[in-house]
Amino acid sequence: MIKFSDINFQYKNNKTEKGNLVDINLTIEDGELIVLTGESGCGKTTFTRLINGLAPNYYPGTVTGELLLDGENVIGKSVAELGRTVGSVFQNPRSQFFNVDTDSELAFAAENIAMDPKEIIRRMDEITEELDLKDLRQRSIFELSGGEKQRIACGSVAVMYPKVIVLDEPSSNLDIESIDKLKSVLKKWKKQGKTVIIAEHRLFFLKDLADRLVVMKDGSITNVYTRAEMNELSGALKEMGIRPLEEPGLVIKRSKEGIRDYIRIEHFKYSYDRKTIALSIDKMLLPGHQVVAIVGQNGAGKSTFLKCLCGIYKTKKDKILLNNNRWKRKVRSKDCYMVFQDVNHQLFTESVLDELIIGMDDSLTESEKKEKALDILERFGLKDKAGDHPMALSGGQKQRVAIASSVAAGRDIILMDEPTSGMDELNMIRLSDELKRLKGMGKTIYVVTHDYEFINECCDSVIELK
Amino acid sequence: MRKLDPRTKLFLLVVINVVMMTGKITGIFVPVRIVFALIPFVLMMRETWFRGSLIYFFLYLYVFLLERYTLQDINPVLLIVLLFTTGLLSRFLAGVMMAYYLMKTTTVSEFVTAMERMHVTKAIVIPFAVMFRFFPTLKEEWQDVKNAMKMRGIGLAGRNPLDVLEYVMVPILMSVSKIADELSAASMTKCLSVDGKRTHIARIGFSFLDVILGLCGAAGLFAHVFLGGVIGT
């Protein structure tokens, strides 16, 4: 049993009046599956950090109140000590593995508590069977997809036989199929009687697993729903800025204007090494002046497709036509602008303003550039951030800076890779509106995404890659 | 195929670097250098990295011959350039290949196991192990930043090199420090701590090949130190 009594928490680097967790009272019974949700910054991640001890041990701050795990006080215990009973799965698959190969990672935690090697190997085999990890054993972690990494993360936690497992937005980088696999792992854990606590934005896959849904806002718990109550919620959640509980299906809207051909691909192939083909397209039509979603499983070549289209990857003998004119790679790279999944990689300069100016047409004078840049920032609601360092902005703001700089560079085709991963409802809607506005400006937008709700919100057509 | 023990690899890396970089290139040190240059080649062939090992082989052969049989009738400026590059390559290439082999064929847990068998304290082992893991991460990050610069049309030409350095370093450092931060947090929840005993499932140990290569390395090092191999003695 986990019991939060009058818990208040404030990070050390939080200089505001408001705490990060405010008056939390919640009792979680053994074997319960609890889903925490709410807007970005509502405190749900902090909630999980208190349970695994990362707050206040690793992320320092002040705690008041009492947090009991099976009657013992959690606060004051080290993370490593808590790690014996509490397993943690994190959001970012890039940064949660200490090892470079999967087997070592599965064994890692057990090795750290000096478990007998024979027992470790026995447990690893057992977990491999249980969580269906056979195809992932003895692989390099760097060659796994996001979904596969998340399965290994779950496996490496399960080897410890933890009583409690906390997951911090585990689905944010996963496609529907990988989410299904994650769901079946959660189902097994629940059946084994483990206590599972998940902080999530996307709720549909948890609907029939969750025992209770905890909604948080500004650090406080605003509502707690039981399973029965959850099923009567649908409308109310949207008003709270929370993603729906129903699995979103794709709604195909017929666009009124009819589809105009824009880009015609007749031959398009790419492989990273000489052996495996990452992308192979014989014929494809991409409509223009629309927001087009590109869907497909992890590993279907969606990101590769975008990178080839905008000329980052060199494709040989490609034949692509733009409005029936040959569209060569060199030209493509000047017409397209790609917004990466991790926007951190594409913001280079010291200020938001410079970020826009650096890509502008060189024929303009400095003052013209500046004026134009400020104009664009105004439209994107970023004018007051013009002097800020891009890295000081929030994730959603960074993304908007990247989109704004594509407009500044005068590119007509914008490519986006998984723009809504880890986004809450509010930011997702904001991005959708942004894209609709860009479409209104005559831009063409191709979005690789797994997020059906987002597609329904703003995309005009959908293309599936296989 | 039996894997080489990480300790052997580490020993060879050190010996090859010391002898190749600070050693003489005449007399009995010609065969010593040839053997040391061949060690990474043989090891890479054993991993069936044919392409890489052959490129290495011919590149080394080329600089070796050029260094030994310097062309006579040649423009002196060109000669200096040639000698400079061949001298550099013949001293560094084998060590670099050995380091590459070590990184590619050793898992983090094998490395940690080997270090702990040598009774190195965890306070030293863990940072090294993390470094191991970070090379591939850095490579990924660098690729992404390079792609982003290409996509935005920010080329290297015609810009202040310091600006370019900033454009490359800022995003890489930002994301690497974020990864490092999250990685430490994740490792802590997996009970990693500086004190406390660990067990290992990685099986390492010396085989016949380890002994042979170890002796080769030791013999070379012996000649280097006691038979006047160090430049200037």
What are the structural domain ranges in chain A?
Answer: 2-239, 261-464
Residues of A in contact with B191 (CB under 8 A): 80, 83-84, 109, 112-113
Q: Is the peptide bond before A170 cis (omega within 30 degrees of 0)?
A: no
Statement: residue B158 has pLDDT above 90? no
ipTM of the complex: 0.85
Answer yes or no: are the C-beta atoms of B138 and B172 closer than 8 Å: yes
Burial of residue A445, with CB atoms counted within 10 A of its CB: 0-12 exposed, 13-18 middle, 19 or more buried: buried
What is the DSSP secondary structure assignment for residue B23, as one 8-state letter? B
Reduce the DSSP state of residue A24 to 3 states and report it. strand
Whether residue B103 is found in the same domain as residue B17: yes
Cβ contact (<8 Å) for A112 and B200? Answer: no
Q: Among residues 55-74 of chain B, which lie with CB inside 8 Å of chain A? A: none
Whether residue B208 is found in the same domain as residue B94: yes
Quote the number of domains for chain B.
2
Statement: residue A258 has pLDDT above 60? no
Statement: residue A324 has pLDDT above 90? no
Residue type, A182: L
Whether residue B88 is found in the same domain as residue B137: no
Whether residue B28 is found in the same domain as residue B103: yes
Q: Among residues 182-201 of chain B, which lie with CB inside 8 Å of chain A? A: 182-193, 196-201
Answer yes or no: are the C-beta atoms of A361 and A374 closer than 8 Å: no
Task: Count CB neighbours of A157 within 10 A.
Answer: 26
Whether residue B148 is found in the same domain as residue B176: yes
Residue to test with chain A: of B137, B188, B194, B198, most A Cβ within 10 A: B188
Q: Say if strands A325-326 and A319-322 run parallel, antiparallel, or are unpaired.
A: antiparallel
Percent of chain A as helix, strand, coil, to the nearest 5: 35, 25, 40
Whether residue B71 is found in the same domain as residue B37: yes
B99 inside domain: yes
Domain hosting B137: range is 122-189
Q: What is the mean pLDDT of residues A169-187?
A: 88
* Per-residue pLDDT at A380: 82
Distance of CA A40 to the CA centre of its chain: 12
Q: Where does A324-446 have alpha helices with state H?
A: 329-335, 352-357, 366-379, 395-408, 425-440
Whether residue B207 is found in the same domain as residue B103: yes
Ordered DSSP codes for A97-148: -SSSBHHHHHHHHHHHTT--HHHHHHHHHHHHHHTT-GGGTT-BGGGS-HHH
pLDDT digits (tens, 9 = 90+) for A7-17: 999 999 888 88
Distance of CA A109 to the CA centre of its chain: 25
Per cent of chain A over pLDDT 70 is 97
Distance CA A344, CA A283 (A): 34
Whether residue B93 is found in the same domain as residue B41: yes
Common-topology check for domains A2-239 and A261-464: yes
Under the banding of pLDDT at 50, 70 and 90, the label for residue B217 is: very high
What is the DSSP secondary structure assignment for residue A205, as one 8-state letter? G
Under the banding of pLDDT at 50, 70 and 90, the label for residue A282 is: confident
Whether residue B95 is found in the same domain as residue B210: yes
CATH homologous superfamily for A261-464?
Answer: P-loop containing nucleotide triphosphate hydrolases (3.40.50.300)
Which pTM does this prediction carry? 0.84
* Residues linked to residue A197 through DSSP beta bridges, in sequence order: A34, A166
Instruction: Specify the range with the lowest mean pLDDT, choosing from A34-38, A111-115, A240-244, A345-349.
Output: A240-244
Instruction: Specify the range with the lowest mean pLDDT, choosing from B6-15, B47-56, B148-157, B215-224.
Output: B148-157
Distance of CA A230 to the CA centre of its chain: 24
Distance of CA A413 to the CA centre of its chain: 24
B196 inside domain: no
Whether residue B210 is found in the same domain as residue B160: no
CA distances from B199 to A114, A323, B190 (A): 5, 64, 14
Highest mean pLDDT among A151-165, A339-353, A372-386: A151-165
B1 inside domain: no
Statement: residue A259 has pLDDT above 80? no
Closest CA to A95 of B130, B7, B95, B214: B130
Under the banding of pLDDT at 50, 70 and 90, the label for residue B71 is: low
Distance CA A409, CA A266 (A): 28
Whether residue B11 is found in the same domain as residue B96: yes
Distance CA B215, CA B228 (A): 19
Under the banding of pLDDT at 50, 70 and 90, the label for residue B145 is: confident
Whether residue B153 is found in the same domain as residue B184: yes
B114 inside domain: no
Distance CA B28, CA B223 (A): 9
* Per-residue pLDDT at B97: 94
Statement: residue B2 has pLDDT above 80? no
Instruction: Specify the range with the lowest mean pLDDT, choosing from A122-126, A168-172, B81-85.
Output: B81-85
What is the DSSP secondary structure assignment for residue A260, as one 8-state letter? P
Distance CA B173, CA B161 (A): 18
Residues of B in contact with A340 (CB under 8 A): 144, 147-148
CB-nearest partner of B108 from A100, A334, A338: A100
Helices B122-151, B161-189: axis angle to 10 degrees equals: 130
φ, ψ at A17 (rounded to 5°): -75, -35
Distance CA A459, CA A81 (A): 48
Statement: residue A155 has pLDDT above 90? yes
In A170-251, which ranges are E strands?
A: 195-199, 212-217, 220-226
pLDDT averaged over every residue in chain B:
86
Distance CA B184, CA B195 (A): 16
Cβ contact (<8 Å) for A114 and B186? Answer: no
Answer yes or no: are the C-beta atoms of A302 and A448 closer than 8 Å: yes
Number of residues that make up chain A: 466
* Per-residue pLDDT at A260: 64
Q: What is the mean pLDDT of residues B106-118?
A: 88
Closest CA to B202 of A158, A80, A89, A110: A110
* Residues linked to residue A24 through DSSP beta bridges, in sequence order: A7
Q: Among residues 132-191 of chain B, which lie with CB inside 8 Å of chain A? A: 132-133, 136-137, 140-141, 144-145, 147-154, 166-168, 170-171, 174-175, 178-180, 182-191
* Per-residue pLDDT at A3: 96
Helices B108-117, B6-22: axis angle to 10 degrees equals: 80
Residues of B in contact with A98 (CB under 8 A): 108, 129-130, 133, 183, 186-187, 190, 192
- Architecture of the domain delimited by A2-239: 3-Layer(aba) Sandwich (3.40)
Q: Burial letters for A179-214: b for 16+ Cβ neighbours within 10 Å, e otherwise?
A: bebbbebbeebbeeebbbbbbbbbbbbbbebbbbbb
Evaluated on CA atoms A183, A185, A186, A188, the torsion sign reads positive
Cβ contact (<8 Å) for A342 and B189? Answer: no
